[in-house]
Chains A and B, each alone.
Chain A
Amino acid sequence: MVLKKRYSRNIKSNLSFYVSIIILTTVCIMVYLTMSCGFEGMNSYIKDFRKECFSEDAQFNVYKPLSDEDISYFEEKYDLSLEQQSYIDIENKDSDGNTDTIRLFRPSEKINKYRVTYGDDITNDDELLLCRSYMQENDLSNGDEYVFNGKSYKVTGSFDRPDYISIYKDISGSFSTPDSFAIAMLTADEYKKVLGTHAEDEMDYYSVRYNNESKSNIEDFRKELNERAMVASYTSKENNNRISSADSMLTMTKDIRDVIVPIVFFLIMIIIAVVLERKIKSEQKFIGILSALGYNKFQLAAHYSVLGIIVSIAGSIIGVILSVPMQNILIPMCFIKLEPLPVKYGLEPMGVIISFVVPLILFTASVFFTAILSLRKKTISMITGVDDKDRKNKFRMEKSKLSLTTKYRLRSVFGKPVRTLLIVVGICFGSLIFLYTYGVVDSLKVFVNESVDQIGDMEYQYYFSELRTDEPEGGAKIVYSIFESGKDGKATALMGMKENDLMNYELVSGGKADIEGGGYYITKMGSVIYGVSKGDKLSIKNVATLEETTIKIDGIIDNNAQNAIYTSPENVYEITGLPEGSYNLLVSEEDMHYPGNQTSQVITKSSLRDQIDEVYKMMKQEIFVMVPFGVIICVFVIYIMINMLISESKASISMFKVLGYRNKEINRLMINIYHFVIPIAAVLGLVAGYIFVELYFQANAAAFNAYVAAKVSVVTCVKYFVLVFLSYIVSLVLLGRKVDKIEMTESLKDNRE
């Protein structure tokens, strides 16, 4: 068909529009493929890692240690693997002279076996494996010497365990601190030697791997385990942040791929459909002539559909090519909380197919149907340009005292609602990405500064490995027990205490919680995770006995850093059956210097701050990658819309030139019409961005193990408004030349408007 010649001419004459659409498509494909390859690559690596290294399904502590016979008994009876895991935390000076904690593991045989991720395995007693993140943080390479526990070791490589994919010091931790905490591995013989000088620092727990994962089988095992050994704590893999954060990160990556990217696709589709609908309208005389010559609707719609095909294929090809180098930058950002793993990403075949097929179908279909709809007009109406329907202008403003410029702008903005709406939506979407990254950083910053203090004035939390009844030298005693609740069995701590000055009892609704009165008060973070409010009932299941209790929530404590329920000690004794007067947690302002073998975990507020600080630093790096995407979308959406405005107003612009209007005056009257829409769109974008950040933290409260309230700082707001206005100004400047180029003779052409 001779019409084919029009494709290149059409693209040449509307080059900026097609380039903009191709860039937007490229960005989409790039993000989609990167997320897709990241998800698939990491997902298959983690699956394989967990399978090959026998990742645990749960870990627990007991008050009565299990004998080898007990272990064999449980393994046979319940078709599971059970193994005691041991480690020693050793304080060690790093290259900068700072004291780091190195967690040295005894090599396990059945569960949580280690895998060398980079370099070689240890074979001699003077060799050592460290986790990759710590090596990177301390500029250590394979083959380097590392002084540990007073002895020099050769670092043969890095390793990881499936229960330490996120290297958190505490099992309830949320963020890794590679500058001060690492895991290490020595040969079994060398471990024994180290143990000789650190016997009382060795920590034990049991890991279990269920071969038969039926719920009843697991519950029966847990019940019998409790009867035999008195379970002190039981943490399923879902409640173990070192394991579950990988799944959270994978889900998040999948969500971006499956939710955010399709939204961008949809946005581009709308833009293409709207712009093409107007393009077809501007060519209606030409279409009318072709129609009169005998071309049918289908042929003409197919002709315009090819433009959609060209745009989608060009965008897909460039997107696929660029996604390869982008993977190295974007994917580590997606899995920011995980240990660096030797995952081979490459191009995921299904992702590549989708990258070509989906835009091709969506763009072509949107263009085809838009063309079909536009071709419903009578042929004669298209040729003469006389519409057979009366068009009524709703913005007459006959009696209005507004200036001509204002009236003209108002008609242009509200008379073309789709174009205006696209500008608003485009800015909102572009700003969403920008505000997401900055908002997350701002929120974490506030969280570091404020929320950590919401726990209370205590600096130290000592979790004891055994129940105690002695009177401590200081601090406040708490009896706590871990319960599972909600659909996913997410763990929460039921904490019984006498009111003290070290904990925070402020309620979100104002006033103080009446702990000693026997009420149950859940922290704000817990209320977000379980979706409960004051007055609601919540069922909690004891992880030791598996007995279920329903409690009524009497209030929400203003505490975003802890998932816990506060109540009186009596209530805890009654529900758990723990002996009255006992306690297993002590909070204090001062260091109580308990020996390592008496505590199962010691959490300090400063370590919590350090963890969040680490993520804060990493998120700041992410800004540099994510923000350009937001900027590109903002700039191009505004650019496309202003471009469309100029194309549609060509005849009027030309006429104003004939009438003696200067370019500045024309710009003021016709092009700068969105001046007042941009601030409105920017404010809406800000609100949308804030809501998005809030939803993000709510959805990920469990994964972060912290409810971070959304905050957007004044500085971010300023940056955001500057960005939006700069995008707008850049678009206007770029398109200013286009106004200049419009010939006055344009108005002398056939203009029947």
Chain B
Amino acid sequence: MFIEIKNAKKSYGKGEAQVNAMDGIDLSLEKGKIYTILGPSGSGKSTLLNMLGGLDDIDSGTITVDGTELTKLSKKQMCDYRRKSVGFVFQFYNLIPDLTVRENVQSVKDISDDPFDIDEMLESLGIKDYAGRFPRELSGGQQQRVAIARALVKNPKILLCDELTGALDSKSSRMVLEFLEKIHAKYGTTIIIVTHNEAISKMTDVVIRVQDGNIKSVTENKERVSPKDIVF
């Protein structure tokens, strides 16, 4: 398996205020597929994404990505893991405000071993004309496309998307998802989308439902729907 999670536990707070965000999760994910992690607020879906991305440590259990056990990595090795293997897209884009569109993407390219061409990336995402603009000069949909370009330019093994359409209108959301599918088709990147929007799950290969820190179900989509046909 490309990603193996075994008995992963993570809790926040102490005593009565303790919340088990991951309560002994076991999960296996294949390479090159699009996954949706669905669940209500506080179900632990974002925590799961953070653990996969090496942003936070689990309390116990193991997470293995492409043969590397993340729990055994040092701080520096974890940094290298994020640098080479993972691309992130967040709900609020998290672009660097003092860098232009091109520079935001270049900031990742500069530290990557085998990056894609920036112009090609911007072209394919339809934002090449905005390359010299600062994030605040773009719409939400455009900013999210820049965030996707930034995440993909390093040619990551996994693309992790946390509520990537959460701050967008339906038109922009559809557009962003179309780009995501296009990228997946072109590069075969493993994509994991965390969302509470059922509609998005229809365009993915596998839907993982989480509740109260546990995996409730893992369902394969027999017939994937094109983002164009998604009704938000």
| Contact between chains at A662 and B79 (CB < 8 Å) | yes
Contacts known (A391-B136, A745-B56, A747-B94); A407 close to B103, Cβ less than 8 A: yes
| Contact between chains at B56 and A744 (CB < 8 Å) | yes
CB-CB under 8 A from A415, the residues of chain B are 98
User: In angstroms, how far is the closest chain A Cβ from the Cβ of B1?
Assistant: 24
Q: Which of the candidate stretches B66-74, B105-113, B202-210 sits at the interface with the other chain?
A: B105-113
- Does A692 lie at the interface of the complex (its beta carbon under 8 Å from any beta carbon of B)? no
CB-CB under 8 A from A391, the residues of chain B are 136
CB-CB under 8 A from B80, the residues of chain A are 660
| Contact between chains at B82 and A404 (CB < 8 Å) | no
Alpha-carbon distance A665/B135, docked complex (angstroms): 22
- Does B83 lie at the interface of the complex (its beta carbon under 8 Å from any beta carbon of A)? yes
| Contact between chains at A404 and B94 (CB < 8 Å) | no
CB-CB under 8 A from A745, the residues of chain B are 50, 55-56
Alpha-carbon distance A396/B131, docked complex (angstroms): 11
Alpha-carbon distance A460/B136, docked complex (angstroms): 79
- Does B171 lie at the interface of the complex (its beta carbon under 8 Å from any beta carbon of A)? no
Q: Which of the candidate stretches B32-40, B84-92, B121-129, B180-188 sits at the interface with the other chain?
A: B84-92
As a 0/1 sequence over residues 452 to 474 of chain A, the CB contacts with chain B under 8 angstroms (1 = contact) are 00000000000000000000000
- Does B132 lie at the interface of the complex (its beta carbon under 8 Å from any beta carbon of A)? yes
CB-CB under 8 A from A652, the residues of chain B are 96-98
| Contact between chains at B97 and A404 (CB < 8 Å) | no
Alpha-carbon distance A748/B46, docked complex (angstroms): 9
| Contact between chains at A408 and B100 (CB < 8 Å) | no
State which residues 726-753 of A face B: CB under 8 Å: 744-745, 747-748, 750-753
As a 0/1 sequence over residues 330 to 369 of chain A, the CB contacts with chain B under 8 angstroms (1 = contact) are 0000000000000000000000000000000000000000
Residue in B closest to A387 when the chains form the complex, CB atoms: B136
The interface centre, meaning the residue of A391, A748, A753 with most chain B CB atoms within 10 A of its CB, is: A748
As a 0/1 sequence over residues 648 to 665 of chain A, the CB contacts with chain B under 8 angstroms (1 = contact) are 000110011111111001
Alpha-carbon distance A665/B95, docked complex (angstroms): 18
- Does B134 lie at the interface of the complex (its beta carbon under 8 Å from any beta carbon of A)? yes
- Does A412 lie at the interface of the complex (its beta carbon under 8 Å from any beta carbon of B)? yes
- Does B222 lie at the interface of the complex (its beta carbon under 8 Å from any beta carbon of A)? no
Residue in B closest to A659 when the chains form the complex, CB atoms: B108
| Contact between chains at B56 and A412 (CB < 8 Å) | no
Alpha-carbon distance A175/B207, docked complex (angstroms): 90
CB-CB under 8 A from B95, the residues of chain A are 753
- Does A139 lie at the interface of the complex (its beta carbon under 8 Å from any beta carbon of B)? no
- Does B14 lie at the interface of the complex (its beta carbon under 8 Å from any beta carbon of A)? no
CB-CB under 8 A from A751, the residues of chain B are 90, 92, 94
- Does B99 lie at the interface of the complex (its beta carbon under 8 Å from any beta carbon of A)? yes
User: In angstroms, how far is the closest chain A Cβ from the Cβ of B19?
Assistant: 15
| Contact between chains at A659 and B111 (CB < 8 Å) | yes
- Does A398 lie at the interface of the complex (its beta carbon under 8 Å from any beta carbon of B)? yes
CB-CB under 8 A from B132, the residues of chain A are 396, 398
- Does A216 lie at the interface of the complex (its beta carbon under 8 Å from any beta carbon of B)? no
State which residues 85-118 of A face B: CB under 8 Å: none
> Among the listed B79, B90, B107, B110, which residue makes an inter-chain contact with A748, where contact means beta carbons less than 8 Å apart?
B90
CB-CB under 8 A from A404, the residues of chain B are 99, 103, 106-107, 110
Q: Which size bracket describes the interface of B in this complex?
A: 35 or more
| Contact between chains at A655 and B96 (CB < 8 Å) | yes
- Does A605 lie at the interface of the complex (its beta carbon under 8 Å from any beta carbon of B)? no
CB-CB under 8 A from B107, the residues of chain A are 404, 656, 659
| Contact between chains at B98 and A411 (CB < 8 Å) | yes
Contacts known (A660-B79, A747-B90); A665 close to B98, Cβ less than 8 A: no
Alpha-carbon distance A518/B98, docked complex (angstroms): 72
User: In angstroms, how far is the closest chain B Cβ from the Cβ of A412?
Assistant: 6
Residue in A closest to B150 when the chains form the complex, CB atoms: A659
CB-CB under 8 A from A747, the residues of chain B are 90, 94
State which residues 142-196 of B face A: CB under 8 Å: 150, 154, 162
| Contact between chains at B55 and A398 (CB < 8 Å) | no
CB-CB under 8 A from A748, the residues of chain B are 46, 50, 55, 90, 162
CB-CB under 8 A from A396, the residues of chain B are 100, 132, 134
User: In angstroms, how far is the closest chain A Cβ from the Cβ of B82?
Assistant: 4
User: In angstroms, how far is the closest chain A Cβ from the Cβ of B68?
Assistant: 15
Alpha-carbon distance A280/B23, docked complex (angstroms): 39
CB-CB under 8 A from A750, the residues of chain B are 92
> Among the listed B99, B100, B106, B111, which residue makes an inter-chain contact with A660, where contact means beta carbons less than 8 Å apart?
B111
User: In angstroms, how far is the closest chain A Cβ from the Cβ of B158?
Assistant: 13
- Does A393 lie at the interface of the complex (its beta carbon under 8 Å from any beta carbon of B)? yes
CB-CB under 8 A from B134, the residues of chain A are 393, 396
> Among the listed B55, B76, B154, which residue makes an inter-chain contact with A744, where contact means beta carbons less than 8 Å apart?
B55
| Contact between chains at B50 and A659 (CB < 8 Å) | no
| Contact between chains at A753 and B55 (CB < 8 Å) | no
User: In angstroms, how far is the closest chain A Cβ from the Cβ of B206?
Assistant: 24
State which residues 45-70 of B face A: CB under 8 Å: 46, 50, 53, 55-56
Alpha-carbon distance A408/B150, docked complex (angstroms): 17
Alpha-carbon distance A655/B110, docked complex (angstroms): 15
> Among the listed B53, B92, B97, B111, which residue makes an inter-chain contact with A665, where contact means beta carbons less than 8 Å apart?
B111
User: In angstroms, how far is the closest chain A Cβ from the Cβ of B99?
Assistant: 6
| Contact between chains at A658 and B136 (CB < 8 Å) | no
User: In angstroms, how far is the closest chain A Cβ from the Cβ of B49?
Assistant: 9
CB-CB under 8 A from A407, the residues of chain B are 99, 103
Contacts known (A393-B134, A396-B132, A665-B111); A408 close to B99, Cβ less than 8 A: yes
Alpha-carbon distance A652/B53, docked complex (angstroms): 18
CB-CB under 8 A from A656, the residues of chain B are 96, 107
Residue in A closest to B167 when the chains form the complex, CB atoms: A752
> Among the listed B76, B84, B86, B99, which residue makes an inter-chain contact with A662, where contact means beta carbons less than 8 Å apart?
B76
Alpha-carbon distance A412/B84, docked complex (angstroms): 28
Alpha-carbon distance A599/B141, docked complex (angstroms): 97
Alpha-carbon distance A665/B84, docked complex (angstroms): 16
User: In angstroms, how far is the closest chain A Cβ from the Cβ of B223?
Assistant: 33
CB-CB under 8 A from B56, the residues of chain A are 744-745
Alpha-carbon distance A398/B111, docked complex (angstroms): 21
CB-CB under 8 A from A408, the residues of chain B are 98-99, 103
Alpha-carbon distance A398/B99, docked complex (angstroms): 11
The interface centre, meaning the residue of A655, A656, A665 with most chain B CB atoms within 10 A of its CB, is: A655
Residue in A closest to B82 when the chains form the complex, CB atoms: A660
Residue in A closest to B162 when the chains form the complex, CB atoms: A748
CB-CB under 8 A from B88, the residues of chain A are 658-659
Alpha-carbon distance A656/B97, docked complex (angstroms): 12
CB-CB under 8 A from B55, the residues of chain A are 658, 744-745, 748
Contacts known (A659-B111, A660-B80); A651 close to B98, Cβ less than 8 A: no
Alpha-carbon distance A651/B82, docked complex (angstroms): 17
State which residues 179-193 of A face B: CB under 8 Å: none
User: In angstroms, how far is the closest chain B Cβ from the Cβ of A272?
Assistant: 25
CB-CB under 8 A from B97, the residues of chain A are 652, 753
Contacts known (A396-B132, A658-B55); A651 close to B94, Cβ less than 8 A: yes
Contacts known (A415-B98, A660-B79); A752 close to B92, Cβ less than 8 A: yes
CB-CB under 8 A from B50, the residues of chain A are 745, 748
Residue in B closest to A393 when the chains form the complex, CB atoms: B134
Residue in B closest to A649 when the chains form the complex, CB atoms: B98
Alpha-carbon distance A656/B94, docked complex (angstroms): 10
User: In angstroms, how far is the closest chain B Cβ from the Cβ of A739?
Assistant: 13
CB-CB under 8 A from A662, the residues of chain B are 76, 79
The interface centre, meaning the residue of B79, B88, B96 with most chain A CB atoms within 10 A of its CB, is: B96
Known: A652-B96, A652-B98, A656-B107. 4 other contacts (CB 8 A): A658-B53, A659-B150, A660-B86, A753-B135
Closest 9 CB pairs of A and B: A660-B83, A398-B132, A660-B82, A744-B55, A753-B97, A411-B98, A751-B92, A655-B94, A747-B94
> What are 14 A-B interface contacts by the 8 Å CB criterion?
A396-B132, A408-B103, A415-B98, A651-B94, A658-B53, A659-B88, A659-B111, A661-B111, A665-B111, A744-B55, A745-B55, A747-B94, A748-B50, A748-B162
On B, residues with C-beta under 8 Å from A are 46, 50, 53, 55-56, 76, 79-84, 86, 88, 90, 92, 94-100, 103, 106-108, 110-111, 132, 134-136, 150, 154, 162
On A, residues with C-beta under 8 Å from B are 391, 393, 396, 398, 404, 407-408, 411-412, 415, 651-652, 655-662, 665, 744-745, 747-748, 750-753
